[in-house]
């Protein structure tokens, strides 16, 4: 039986077309198949001016989303934060509810669950307050020596931070000054002890202590 070159070419074309159709159908079937993913979305907290969050709040929210595989794949690649607007919140605890429709999803996708669905940030006003410096002293002056004058410069340091932390700070202490090592009038640089995390202290963290000894 003889086969013409045209017949072979025509037969090969049919096979190529059939293969392409099969691939297209396979992609369509695979893409339309339902699946579920959990997408972690970064939480972007918008705060009132001069306020801060003082408790632990989630940095991400988990959205469980279902729909066609291809649509889910494209959606998973989108990097868009979840904006949590707290600009109208008052000082103290506030409740924020996260709903399935808190994010935009493409047609065909459905948000099944959200975790956490409730967030309770605690807002505090940021204040600045001058706090006195307290020099920590140990030991005694050598025999026959007397301290006649003592001063600290600067006598105060400004602390800036959440209201509760700043107001609970009564004094800022220095490193210890050992009087037993002082035999005459002197001026010494003393470092200040660290402040609570979340508080910013003015200055370079040091004070000058002047002692007049006779």
Mean pLDDT of 33-52: 93
- Its pTM stands at 0.72
3-state secondary structure of 154: coil
Whether 84 is covered by a domain: the verdict is: yes
Q: Domain with 74 in it: what CATH number? A: 2.170.120.30
177 or 23, which is more confident?
Answer: 177
Residues 6+ apart with CB under 8 A from 44: 81, 82, 83, 84
Dist CA 162 CA 127 (whole Å): 6
Mean pLDDT of 5-15: 59
Whether 178 is covered by a domain: the verdict is: yes
Cα-based distances in Å from 183 to 144, 152, 167, 179, 212: 10, 19, 38, 8, 10
Whether 53 is covered by a domain: the verdict is: yes
| Beta-bridge partners for 39 | 63
pLDDT of 34: 84
Whether 136 is covered by a domain: the verdict is: yes
User: Structurally, how many domains does the chain consist of?
Assistant: 2
Q: How confident is the model at residue 32 (pLDDT cuts 50, 70, 90)?
A: low
Q: Which of 55, 88, 120 is the C-terminal boundary of a domain? A: 120
CB 205 within 8 A of CB 191: yes
* Model confidence at 206: pLDDT above 70: yes
Distance between start and end Cα atoms, the chain: 129
Whether 12 is covered by a domain: the verdict is: no
Domain that holds residue 50: 34-120
Whether 1 is covered by a domain: the verdict is: no
Q: How confident is the model at residue 13 (pLDDT cuts 50, 70, 90)?
A: low
Q: How confident is the model at residue 39 (pLDDT cuts 50, 70, 90)?
A: very high
Residue 135 and residue 77 share a domain: no
């Amino acid at each position: 039986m003889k086969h013409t070159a045209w017949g072979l070419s025509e037969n090969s074309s049919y096979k190529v077309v059939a293969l392409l159709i099969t691939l297209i159908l396979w992609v369509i079937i695979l893409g339309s198949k339902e699946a579920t993913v959990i997408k972690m979305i970064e939480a972007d907290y918008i705060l009132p001016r001069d306020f801060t969050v003082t408790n632990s709040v989630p940095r991400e929210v988990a959205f469980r989303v279902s729909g066609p595989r291809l649509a889910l794949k494209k959606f998973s690649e989108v990097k868009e934060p979840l904006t949590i607007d707290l600009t109208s919140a008052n000082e103290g605890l506030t409740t924020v509810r996260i709903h399935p429709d808190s994010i935009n999803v493409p047609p065909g996708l459905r948000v099944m669950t959200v975790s956490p669905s409730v967030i309770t940030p605690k807002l505090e006003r940021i204040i600045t307050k001058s706090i006195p410096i307290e020099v920590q002293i140990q030991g005694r002056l050598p025999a026959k020596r007397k301290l006649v004058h003592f001063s600290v410069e600067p006598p105060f340091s400004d602390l800036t931070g959440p209201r509760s932390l700043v107001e609970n700070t009564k004094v800022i202490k220095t490193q210890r000054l050992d009087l037993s090592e002082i035999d005459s009038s002197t001026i010494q640089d003393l470092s200040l002890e660290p402040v609570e995390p979340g508080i910013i202290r003015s200055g370079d963290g040091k004070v000058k202590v002047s002692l007049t000894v006779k």
